[in-house]
Amino acid sequence: MSKIGKQPVIIPSGVTVEVSGHNVKVTGPKGVMERHFPPEINVEVKDGKVQVSAKGSGKYIMSLFGTIRALINNDVKGVTEGWSKKLELVGTGFKAEVAGTTLSLTVGFSHPVEVEAPKGIGFKVEKTIVTVEGIDRELVGQVSANIRGVKPPEPYKGKGIKYVDEVIRRKAGKAAATKAGPVGA
């Protein structure tokens, strides 16, 4: 049985959780999140807590059990605090600008790359740091990954778009390999 699935999700003040059929609706100060869950999972709201339980004990059901609880917990946190990811632009002349809901990236191509923000996502730019914010954790992560995919960091000089806390494994270039001496000497 899932250790995470057994733990109840505590509902903070200002947040309401409604269960109707196989849908969970979480409403809070930052917005509304709706999620569908499979019929093998049972979700109940009691005493200011959300309790998730499994109907059965098969491998498929148990794999969903903890996942559904974690998703509901992410929704509760999203409508109260929100989610954000920070990306850093590393490279000479690399910059980002926000115009409305469009993020324009100048990252060494002959043209600027424009990323349109989906509904519920916002961009903030401070010098070379781009912050992606929203209430849906999955969407924030996907948009951040799409931005990083425009110009992933390369291993030789580390230029590109990386997460702020990401560590880039660096490689020695050809010059460093030749200074070591001939092979077999």
CA torsion, ordered 77, 104, 145, 71, to nearest 10 deg:
20
* Candidate CATH numbers 3.30.56.10, 3.90.930.12, 2.30.110.10, 3.90.950.10; the one for domain 83-163: 3.90.930.12
CATH number, span 3-80: 3.90.930.12
Q: Say if 3-80 and 83-163 have the same CATH topology.
A: yes
Q: Could you report the per-residue pLDDT of 44-83, keeping only the tens digit for each? A: 999 999 999 988 888 888 888 889 999 999 999 999 999 9
Phi, psi of 176 (to 5 degrees): -70, -30
Q: Could you report the per-residue pLDDT of 117-172, keeping only the tens digit for each? A: 999 999 999 999 999 999 999 999 999 999 999 999 999 999 999 999 999 999 98
Cα–Cα distance for residue pair 114/30, rounded to 1 Å: 27
Strand partners, 43: 52
- Domain extent listing, the chain: 3-80, 83-163
pTM equals: 0.86
Q: 45 vs 33, 48, 49, 128, CA distance in Å?
A: 16, 7, 6, 44
